[in-house]
Structure 1
Amino acid sequence: MPRNGPTDQKVVVIGAGMGGLASALELSARGFEVEVVERLPGPGGKMRQVAAGDAQVDGGPTILTMRWVFEDLLRAVGSRLEDHVSMTPLEVLGRNAWDYGDRGQSLDMFADPKRTEEAIGDFAGAAEAKGYRNLLADSERTFRALDHTFMQASRPSMPGLIRRAGPSILRTKPFDTMWSVLGKYFRDPRLHQLFGRYSVYCGSSPYHATAVLMLMLHVEQSGVWSVDGGMHALARGLAALAESRGVTFHYGRGVKTIEVSGGRATGVRLDDDSRIEADAVVFNGEVNALASGLLGPEVTGAVPPVPQRARSLSLLAVTMNARAEGFPLSRHNVFYGADYKGEFRDIFERNRLPAEPTTYICAQDRMDGTDQDAAPSGAERLLLLINAPPTGDTASPSLDRAEIDACLHRSHALLERCGLTVHPDPDSVTITSPREFEHLFPASGGSLYGRASHGWQASFTRPGARTKVPGLYVAGGSVHPGPGIPMATLSGRQAASSILTDLRSTSRSPRVVMAGGMSTA
């Protein structure tokens, strides 16, 4: 049945991850009736919590950057971020350690770039400190060049990007790999590893990822925050705000099919065969689920499929309560082995768990490792992450329990060589492998970042908010502008903006437009 205006138009959002929450907030603020269907028991998607004994541990993203993205969203819907979630800026952004024998040391990255530069100078010499200073300046220029022209633009192309940003965009080195470009700044292999890790934030190998990803250095140096109550509190806060604005949430409910009539998405059929009719549908999930037919045959052509060879990294995620002894943990810690290239060859070429796994630990009961931040006296909540191949939908024996246990053993051996011993409470340990991630996020193979950012064309192959099926839109970390909490949030706003534009012509009533945000006319 046709609807008369924005207050009579309805949108159903599939998935209560950050992209879905952003879309729901934006659309409800502009007068749409919004219903959100989420098959998990609560909001957040990949920003999930896992039980560890009596405690809850963040089992997904742990680093919050680009705070302004969330402030802009809340401002656009007439609210304030600080009214819904409390955040604390970190002084120590991350603590890094290497298994390099006599050369093995730890290096802190600070919120104050001057302190970071001094720390790098003490760690590796004046020339490397100068390299950091130059890289930081180039990273900021790259971010400024791409912020509005790419990240906040709807599905850009390289020719369009050059038109908007000018030929200077080529100075961001889109055709070079991150690893090759890092060699122009640093000679110390440890610093290669440290700054090459920014590619992992997009689920990619530094040996194949575009050097444009170095903009993440500027993003991180612009601020890293700890969310009080854990990262999941951000999702809970946004969901509570949306609910207070009239958005209806259906948790623990799955979508069987997206319904299409007259060539247009007209609603969804749930797993109990009930239906929700709508003028538009936002799918906030792994886009390959559409292409693979999991949401029905009529939407398989909505977006192109993601072949296995193009998938980004998966993870071994281990949550636990444990006693940590020896190495002085900060909140965010990375422990590197000596064979970095071998790690990514194992994952992307051999489809197996790495022989020398870089290991990330988030110590969630610590703030930033400063002298004032005392270590817990007993057990503490830890999340341990190891890069893994995105083959959770295959029968590969490389993900059998014996292989997982062997990889974790190698990881703990690396930690001990770096001075850290972890004593977990066995009853509190939960291991999430690529196979479990495939179950949580179907058609992903366990990949957690959509397509890998390998090569300059990769960023332009992610679908934009609009699909080939009118009335069906996509959001989340597997679509433009990319993975990560801020990017997924931007994608949700872009989906809402596209709906506002596309449905405006069918509305016979004046549209309500609030000040601010990307959806402002």
Structure 2
Amino acid sequence: MRDQTARNRVVVIGAGIAGLTSALTLAARGFDVTVLERAAAPGGKMREVAIGPARIDSGPTVFTMRWVFEELFAGIGLNFSDHVRLRPLSVLARHAWDDTQHLDLFADEARSADAIGAFAGAAEAKRYRQFCADSRRIYEILEKPFLRATAPSLPKLATAGGIGGLIELRKIRPFTTMWKALGDYFHDPRMRQLFGRYATYCGSSPFDAPATLMLVAHVEHEGVWIIEGGMHALAQALADCATRFGATIRYQQSVREVMVSGGRASGVILDSGERIEAHSVIVNADVGALPAGLFGEAVRTAANPLAPRLRSLSAVTWSMVAKTRGFPLCRHSVFFSRDYSREFAEIFGRGEVPTEPTVYVCAQDRVDDEARLGASGEEELLVLINAPPVGDRKSFDQGEVARAAERAFGVLQRCGLRVDIDQSKTRVTTPADFNRLFPATGGALISTSNSSSPLAPSRASSSTRSC
């Protein structure tokens, strides 16, 4: 006989942010929730890497749109700020093209305009103001019918407001590439490159992604925060609140199979052979894990496979504790390649790590220009370059990693930053490593690239077909 308690039970596979959010919401509504996570801690891609006593954010490092979590917590009677402490940044990012060309963007639009004026001229600053106004308008148009929608689509957006909806659709320039649209605003190629980087936030190339991704500029102007205790503290807060409402989170538990009965999920079987019956199963894994058969044959057809060419960017990252000198790092710093089009052609066209990559550095002991370094002078860093999502077919051996490091840290050196690398305090993650951590992705960090989608950020449906 079927376990009667299973009628109210939901099994969540994966304690990533989406899985934890689902668990928290359902547990607060009275469901019997069990979360199964194969890692030893929550967070999923919001991961941290331990190097001695240091805990380095080695996944997402930028926290925006805090209202998403404020609404989530308020909806279950909690105050988000009671559980997660935030500190706003005034310097959004510091950008460098070489050892003399540096530009800061600020949370304050006027300060950014002044900085751009000093860097690229008054006309460029004026065009920046127009860019900000238009990116704000794109965000406002897309917020309700797309960003907040359960199943967003271009036809729904176009028809939601009749003729008005079609007019609004034209304003977001859905069929213009981001790179082309940026050329209408910025005449200085450095500015076009700087704002084109926002496409990579969604795993895409600015040369292929839609112009709607300009809305990221507005999102950042609405606020960028540091989470006290690191980004992983957000995952831990979600997990703690979920358990407070009665959810059970079991770590180091791998699911072998999703059981199916009557055309719908009915529970899971763990690698240990343990069976857990349930009314519903939420799979917080990459959508490709289902058609890849990672959760059994019965659910293989519940979602469509994702063609490798549609995968988002992957990365090579260096989580490290090191001394730095030369360049004045702030929390977020970006060091640009000298040939942006070549960089993305090599990643998406040839499936190779760029010859000269753009390098992102998150200096996690710094807030704006304030450095909180220890007596040793070392600091916690995440160094990242974009890479192709080929981790399921390329091993990234020591030679490949060494070449990537030479290229990445060569760019930093060209821009004036010296990093004293101690290999014993450095952990490298390649696309192959990301694919092992998050199977069926090839190492793609966001799953789907937006290059083929006229709206951004595109995402898979939250529900699957019947099995």
Smaller-chain TM-score range? over 0.9
Question: In 2 relative to 1, CA 440–227 (structure 1 residues): closer, same or farther, beyond 3 Å?
Answer: same
Q: Paired residue for 2:384?
A: 385
* Cα shift at 1:444: 0.3
Whether contact under 8 Å (1:303, 1:463) holds in the other structure is no
* 1:164 to 2:163 alignment: no
User: Residues 488-503 of structure 1 correspond to what in structure 2 (within 5 A)?
Assistant: none
Q: Paired residue for 2:430?
A: 433
Q: Paired residue for 1:145?
A: 141
Q: For residues 401 and 447 of structure 1, what CA distance do their matches in structure 2 show?
A: 21
Whether contact under 8 Å (1:8, 1:32) holds in the other structure is no
* Cα shift at 1:239: 0.4
Q: For residues 458 and 450 of structure 2, what CA distance do their matches in structure 1 show?
A: 10
* 1:90 to 2:86 alignment: no
Q: Paired residue for 2:194?
A: 194
* 1:319 to 2:316 alignment: no
Q: For residues 453 and 264 of structure 2, what CA distance do their matches in structure 1 show?
A: 33
Q: For residues 457 and 236 of structure 2, what CA distance do their matches in structure 1 show?
A: 32
* Cα shift at 1:469: 2.3
User: Residues 284-323 of structure 1 correspond to what in structure 2 (within 5 A)?
Assistant: 284-323=284-323
1:447-501 CA-to-partner distances (Å, cap 9, x unmatched) read 011110003357597421111027xxxxxxxxxxxxxxxxxxxxxxxxxxxxxxx
Q: For residues 440 and 268 of structure 1, what CA distance do their matches in structure 2 show?
A: 21
* Cα shift at 1:376: 5.8
* Cα shift at 1:8: 5.6
Whether contact under 8 Å (2:158, 2:169) holds in the other structure is yes
User: Residues 401-412 of structure 1 correspond to what in structure 2 (within 5 A)?
Assistant: 401-412=398-409
* Cα shift at 1:246: 0.3
Aligned to 2:341, the other structure's residue is in SS state helix
Aligned to 1:154, the other structure's residue is in SS state coil
Q: For residues 457 and 374 of structure 1, what CA distance do their matches in structure 2 show?
A: 43
1:279-325 CA-to-partner distances (Å, cap 9, x unmatched) read 11111111100011111111111111111111111000101111110
Aligned to 2:302, the other structure's residue is in SS state coil
Q: Paired residue for 1:466?
A: 463
Aligned to 1:135, the other structure's residue is in SS state helix
Q: Paired residue for 2:106?
A: 110
| Structure 2 portions without partners, runs of 5+ | none
Whether contact under 8 Å (1:128, 1:188) holds in the other structure is yes
Q: Paired residue for 1:264?
A: 264
Question: In 2 relative to 1, CA 438–150 (structure 1 residues): closer, same or farther, beyond 3 Å?
Answer: same
Q: Paired residue for 1:344?
A: 344
Whether contact under 8 Å (1:452, 1:458) holds in the other structure is no
| Structure 1 portions without partners, runs of 5+ | 471-521
* Cα shift at 1:3: 9.2
Q: Paired residue for 1:74?
A: 73
Q: After superposing the two structures, state which structure 1 stretch, 214-223 or 413-422, moved more.
A: 413-422
Bigger relative contact order, structure 1 or 2 (CA pairs below 8 A, ≥6 apart): 1
Question: Could you tell me which amino acid in structure 2 is paired with residue 147 of structure 1?
Answer: E
* Cα shift at 1:170: 2.0
Q: Paired residue for 1:136?
A: 132
Q: Paired residue for 2:8?
A: 9
Question: In 2 relative to 1, CA 395–332 (structure 1 residues): closer, same or farther, beyond 3 Å?
Answer: closer
Whether contact under 8 Å (2:3, 2:277) holds in the other structure is no
Q: For residues 186 and 427 of structure 1, what CA distance do their matches in structure 2 show?
A: 44
User: Residues 353-392 of structure 1 correspond to what in structure 2 (within 5 A)?
Assistant: 353-369=353-369, 373=371, 378-392=377-391
Aligned to 1:19, the other structure's residue is in SS state helix
Q: How many residues align?
A: 462
Whether contact under 8 Å (1:318, 1:383) holds in the other structure is yes
Whether contact under 8 Å (2:310, 2:452) holds in the other structure is no
TM-score, normalisation: structure 1? 0.86
Whether contact under 8 Å (1:157, 1:460) holds in the other structure is no
Q: For residues 29 and 181 of structure 1, what CA distance do their matches in structure 2 show?
A: 44
Q: For residues 382 and 444 of structure 1, what CA distance do their matches in structure 2 show?
A: 25
Identity of aligned residues (%): 50
Question: In 2 relative to 1, CA 247–464 (structure 1 residues): closer, same or farther, beyond 3 Å?
Answer: same
Q: Paired residue for 1:279?
A: 279
* Cα shift at 1:2: 7.9
Poorly superposed stretches of 4+, deviation over 4 Å: 1-5, 372-377, 457-461
User: Residues 171-182 of structure 1 correspond to what in structure 2 (within 5 A)?
Assistant: 171-182=171-182
Whether contact under 8 Å (1:451, 1:458) holds in the other structure is no
Q: For residues 381 and 161 of structure 1, what CA distance do their matches in structure 2 show?
A: 44
Q: Which of 116, 125, 144 in structure 1 is aligned with 2:121?
A: 125
Q: For residues 320 and 373 of structure 1, what CA distance do their matches in structure 2 show?
A: 16
1:251-297 CA-to-partner distances (Å, cap 9, x unmatched) read 00011011101111001111101011111111111110001111111
Whether contact under 8 Å (2:202, 2:457) holds in the other structure is no
1:340-363 CA-to-partner distances (Å, cap 9, x unmatched) read 111111110111110011000000
Question: Could you tell me which amino acid in structure 2 is paired with residue 299 of structure 1?
Answer: V
* 1:65 to 2:61 alignment: no
Whether contact under 8 Å (2:310, 2:449) holds in the other structure is yes
Q: For residues 95 and 355 of structure 1, what CA distance do their matches in structure 2 show?
A: 23
1:399-453 CA-to-partner distances (Å, cap 9, x unmatched) read 3321221121121121111111001222110000000000000000000111100
RMSD of the alignment, in Å?
A: 1.8
Q: For residues 14 and 457 of structure 2, what CA distance do their matches in structure 1 show?
A: 24
Q: Paired residue for 2:447?
A: 450
Q: For residues 283 and 436 of structure 2, what CA distance do their matches in structure 1 show?
A: 18
Q: For residues 230 and 395 of structure 1, what CA distance do their matches in structure 2 show?
A: 31
